[in-house]
Amino acid sequence: MSIESISPAQARRRQQAGAILIDVREAHERAAGHAEHARGIAKDALEADPHASLPDHEADILLICQSGARSLRAAQTLLDAGYARVASVEGGTTRWLAEGLPMTVPQQSEDERDFHDRYSRHLRLPEVGEAGQRKLQAARVAMVGAGGLGSPAAFYLAAAGIGTLVLADDDVVDRSNLQRQILHTEDRIGVSKVESARIALAALNPRVKVETFAERIGSDNVERLIGAADVVFDGADNFPVRYLLNDACVKLGKPLVYGAIHRFEGQVSVFDAGRHRGVCPCYRCLFPEPPPPEAAPNCAEAGVLGVLPGVVGLIQATEVIKLILGLGESLAGRLLHFDALGMRFRETRLRPDPECPLCAAGREFPGYIDYQAFCAAQ
């Protein structure tokens, strides 16, 4: 049976004669305004159980969406379910509004309006939607390092609506940072990096809570930093902190999003052994021992292409968002390499080390160590 398509004017007349007009858009779309007296039932909910909302199979049912495509698909579902009189409104709400037909704009608080406006492009993604955006809003991400990697990642995580960002960095802004650390500005040279970052992120998205730790991370405070986090972001530039973060995340069962840069190359992975013992590797499975200092100089010693941390940091931010939303396939068990000069990505598969002194299945946490001494001894 073909689906009947009608104009908004025809739909309005039938509605006034007793037809049921249903807006099948999502709630956040209807919040901007909908056809007067239309009932709001999202397409997925209507299709999942039409009888719950429309017990009368003989009722005159009119479906409207934004442009007419979704209402056509929903109408087909209702016809297949045995409803006899179903029509779709051509041009949807867009045409209804253009023809000057009456609209209803639901009352919203300023906070609700800000939420729907600010995150409208996320809300339109079925994989995110309002439920996913609320997850991001409730999430807490601990970020170690407000420098090269932390700068782009923090900007995009704040823009994406992460509810709480915990930033840890004991350094202050230096002019040499500005070539790549985009959170900071000339007028904040000499200001602590976490305070500079807080200022920048608050200006971008005042909905995001930024907690600052102007402290050097060590065994004595790492759990205070990451204990309540959903995801931990590694933007450190030294091996002692990387090993410390890894060990703490394994102990506490936190996913660790790792990134590192060197001159023109970078790498990213997710270490999730704390939640998946014997299935996912940890940082120690990849690097049982740190390389000697001369083999891995920091940016101050070796230099770094200014845009490189932007690429690597944004890949890390993407992994953070995916982990919170439970979307796609994370980089757990994979190490992604980026070569900026060759503009190439390559991937190395990582396996958990069954003899890993930290994350082997069934192994008790051995305790924190002197990470400075451990790295200096290699």
Point out the residues that are catalytic: 299
List the one residue out of 53, 16, 57, 51 whose CA is nearest residue 37. Answer: 16
Q: Is 50 helix (H, G, I), strand (E, B) or coil?
A: helix
Q: Please report, as a single letter, which amino acid is at residue 141.
A: V
> Is 304:234 a contact under the CB 8 Å cutoff?
no
Distances from the Cα of 209 to the Cα of 86, 149, 162, angstroms = 47, 20, 8
User: Is the backbone of residue 37 left (phi > 0), alpha (psi -120 to 50) or beta?
Assistant: left
Q: What is the DSSP pairing of strand 334-339 with strand 344-349?
A: antiparallel
Within 8 A by CB and 6+ apart from 15, the residues are 21, 37, 62
User: Would you say 214 and 195 are in contact if contact means Cβ atoms under 8 Å apart?
Assistant: yes
Question: CB of 311 within 8 A of CB of 266?
Answer: yes
Cα gap 36→120, rounded to integer Å = 23
Q: Phi-psi bin for 237: left (phi > 0), alpha (psi -120 to 50), beta?
A: alpha
What residues have CB less than 8 Å from 356, skipping those under 6 apart? 273, 281, 282, 284, 285, 288, 363
Classify residue 186 by its DSSP letter. G
Query: Rounded distance, CA 212 to CA 165, Å?
Result: 8
The 10 Å Cβ neighbour count of residue 204 is 15
Which residue type occupies 253? G
Do 53 and 46 contact (CB within 8 A), yes or no? Answer: yes
Are residues 161 and 133 in contact, defined by beta-carbon separation less than 8 angstroms? Answer: yes
8 Å CB contact between 66 and 92: yes
Q: For 42, which DSSP code?
A: -
